[in-house]
Amino acid sequence: MNKGQAAAIEAQIPSLRRYARALTGSVDRADDLVQDCLERAIARFAQFQPGTDLRAWLFTILHNVHCDQGRRRSRRGPEIPLEDCDHQLRIPPRQNQRLELRDFARAFRSLSTDHQRILLLAGVEGFSCEETARILGVAVGTVKSRLSRARENLRVAQSKGDRPHQPSVHRAA
């Protein structure tokens, strides 16, 4: 392709862009379509018949590229712009949750076996005090008092783990 042919193609770009915008309804997709059209036209310029209408040839290529892309899109399914699903791609940081869970597990393990059982049955599994009493073979009042003490002990154990570490200060004598 010589400079004159390249200049003739370049002169058609504004018209190609207008048509591409009408076809796609999007400036960005239209620019991509024109670029694909020009790429194909340059690669296959040897197929252009001298003396025929260059403009019509370019518009035919643009139309065919658009149809090809439409067929490809229909096989791929709908396109969703990245900006529309950006909120779904972000994963919130979970370090604090992991630290809280670790601290809770430590505090829970520090409880007596009786308190752990009461909390697991009543708190985690959702059994009533009466059902918990039947399962453990103790009085309902015992379950209620152990549950209250277990919750308080768990709070205390967790609060001990929540305190920030205070570095010791060494003073010179």
Q: If you search the block for the tokens 């010589």, which residue do you land on?
A: 2
54-76 and 13-24 helices, crossing angle to 10°: 30
The domain segmentation of the chain, as residue ranges, is 3-84, 95-162
What is the per-residue pLDDT for 144?
A: 95
Q: What is the mean pLDDT of residues 46-56?
A: 91
- pLDDT score of 83: 73
Average per-residue pLDDT in the chain? Answer: 86
| CATH class of segment(s) 95-162 | mainly alpha
pLDDT tier for residue 150 given thresholds of 50, 70 and 90? very high
Task: State the Cα–Cα distance between residues 169 and 36, nearest whole angstrom.
Answer: 70
Q: Does residue 172 have a pLDDT over 60?
A: no
Helix, strand, coil percentages (3-state) for the chain, rounded to 5, are 75, 0, 25
- For the domain covering 3-84, report its CATH number: 1.10.1740.10
The Cα–Cα gap between 144 and 129 comes to 7
The rounded distance, in Å, linking the Cα atoms of 105 and 96 is 14
